[in-house]
Chain A
Amino acid sequence: MVRRALIALPLLVALSIGGFFWWGLDPARDPGAIPSVLISKPVPQFDLPPIANAGVPGLSKATLDETGAPVLVNVFASWCVPCRAEHAVLTRLAKRDGVRLMGINYKDEPADALAWLSDLGNPYERIGSDVSGRAGIEWGISGVPESFVVDADGTVVYRQVGPILGREDIDRVRRALQAEATG
């Protein structure tokens, strides 16, 4: 009996390790993805001034706590190339689908951001200017662009690392927003 168990042991070890490798081969899995600590937590403390002459007010935790509706907070910068690509998607979500869009302008000179927005259009309801990048650290971002779905009373419910491009990303964001609107 022990003999049989010992004979089976190498096979079991091979199967379990092989199983892990099989799981790891999933193309949809991103090994570099770090789950956000903010999910299901309140929006972190931050208070950002507006970009001068942008025509929209600044952004802070207080405003996100009392929006009364789920919003999409998008961290962007004028020096960020994927943000340009994402801009068209965000504009469509804001203008056509009525998504409330808030922006955090990360580590960007206000003048550069203003030029970028004048060039591409401004779909944001509010933009906070985070020149030092400290607000970004409060949100736990590792780069731009990143987007967060925040529900009506200031709880973060979803985080997207990277630009919102493609059907899957847009659907996930929409679903996160809708879950909050009805839930």
Chain B
Amino acid sequence: MRRGFAILASVAVLSAPAHAVEPDEILADAALEARARAISLDLRCVVCQNESIDASNAGVARDLRLLVRERLVAGDTDAEVFAYVVARYGDFVLFDPPWKPSTYALWLAPATIGLLGLLAVVVVLSRRRGGAASDDLDAEEQAEFDRIMARKGGT
């Protein structure tokens, strides 16, 4: 029981999300720091491109974290901070692709393909149900069947 609890506790601790924020970056104002962390989680590190700048240990990531905090302290809104970074690095640095003509295909493709697939399934199923020959015997076949059964029965 004790051992199980210890294992559970260590797994819980070890699986906490990793972050690279160092003590000297943390702002004194807790609300601003919380906003900075939230914004950092949504910005891609341009060096380790699958990590957010919050999690990345790269030098550029640290610079961007400091930049985000600087802009927040200067009074920017979240949207302005994002705009500031995107102005220098482009849309690629956002983890959430923006809704723009160049990304319509990206956003709409999964739903569109899903709908097409669903349509195909519906069409195939409905045709099979409507067009397939009934398994029941029709009148002629029923009469033939009765005759065969009568002959067999009689013998």
Contact = CB atoms under 8 A, between A and B. Distances in A.
Interface of A: 2-3, 6, 9, 32, 34-37, 44, 107, 133-134, 136-143
Interface residues of B, number: 19
Nearest to A33: B92
Q: Which 3 A-B pairs have the closest CB atoms?
A: A142-B46, A37-B90, A140-B88
Given A133-B59, A137-B63, A142-B47, 16 more contacts: A2-B127, A3-B127, A34-B92, A34-B93, A37-B87, A37-B89, A134-B67, A136-B63, A137-B60, A137-B64, A138-B88, A140-B89, A141-B60, A142-B46, A142-B60, A143-B60
B88 A37 contact: yes
B89 A34 contact: yes
B88 A6 contact: no
Contacts of B89: 34, 37, 140
Contact of B90 (A107, A137, A140): A140
Give the secondary structure class of A's interface. Answer: loop
A142 B44 CA distance: 12
B16 interface: no
A142 B63 CA distance: 11
A135 to B, nearest CB: 11
B47 A143 contact: yes
A137 B47 contact: no
